[in-house]
């Protein structure tokens, strides 16, 4: 990638984002030589990803479906629509960087959960209960107990009770 100002080859990527409805990656770069900043757009040939469900069935990845799942988990929490959008962008970016054609739904769930845990505990537990990404029930119960200890939130403990029954 040549600098448009001094034509030197090396630049440093400052930020990467998905742009144009999933069809390109926008990168903010800084020239290593003259330190001027510029933006590049890398067109993605096609972002076709198959999600492999635990049954082994495959279905095309859709942003809307992922958004619906995350939005449900975040209902009545302080998480904003913009935060959800940013979370999805970040997940899609990671998938594209990994260059995968297929991803297990449990793996996709993990990518979301890692980010959701930083946003909201209740949303995290709700999403976890859908994706069941934990290796065993014990791990899951431990996680709930950790959250119950941290958060006396009514909704969260009600949810813990419900999950303990399952």
If you ran DSSP here, which 8-state letter would residue 58 be given? E
Which contiguous run of DSSP H or E holds residue 12?
A: strand 11-19
Q: Is 42 within 8 Å of 25 (Cβ atoms)?
A: yes
Select 31 or 111, whichever has its Cβ closest to Zn ion.
31
Is residue 5 at the binding interface for Zn ion, with CB under 5 A as the rule? yes
Interatomic CA distance for residues 11 and 29, integer angstroms:
6
Select 34 or 158, whichever has its Cβ closest to Zn ion.
34
3-state SS class at 70:
helix
Pick the stretch among 6-14, 46-54, 72-80, 117-125 that binds Zn ion (CB under 5 A).
6-14
Pick the stretch among 26-34, 80-88, 99-107, 144-152 that binds Zn ion (CB under 5 A).
26-34
Is residue 2 at the binding interface for Zn ion, with CB under 5 A as the rule? no
Q: Identify the residue among 18, 25, 31, 112 touching Zn ion (CB under 5 A).
A: 31
Is residue 34 at the binding interface for Zn ion, with CB under 5 A as the rule? yes
Q: Identify the residue among 2, 6, 41, 68 touching Zn ion (CB under 5 A).
A: 6
DSSP character string of 27-65: EEEEETTT--EEEEEEE-S----EEE-TTS-EEE--HHH
- Which residues of this chain interact with Zn ion, rule CB under 5 A? 3, 5-6, 8, 31, 33-34
């Amino acid at each position: 990638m040549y600098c448009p100002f001094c034509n030197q080859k090396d630049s440093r990527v400052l930020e990467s984002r998905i742009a144009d409805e999933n069809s390109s990656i926008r990168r903010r770069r800084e020239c290593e030589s003259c330190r001027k900043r510029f933006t590049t757009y890398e067109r993605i040939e096609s972002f076709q990803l198959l999600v492999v469900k635990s049954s082994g069935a495959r279905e095309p990845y859709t942003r809307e479906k992922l958004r619906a799942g995350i939005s449900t988990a975040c209902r009545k929490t302080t998480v904003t629509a913009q935060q959800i959008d940013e979370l999805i962008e970040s997940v899609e970016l990671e998938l594209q960087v990994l260059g995968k054609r297929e991803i297990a739904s449990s793996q996709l769930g993990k990518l979301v959960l890692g980010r959701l845990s930083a946003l909201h505990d209740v949303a995290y537990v709700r999403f976890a209960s859908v994706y069941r990404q934990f290796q065993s029930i014990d791990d899951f119960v431990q996680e709930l107990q950790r959250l119950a200890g941290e958060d006396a939130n009514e909704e969260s403990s009600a949810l813990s009770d419900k999950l303990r029954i399952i």
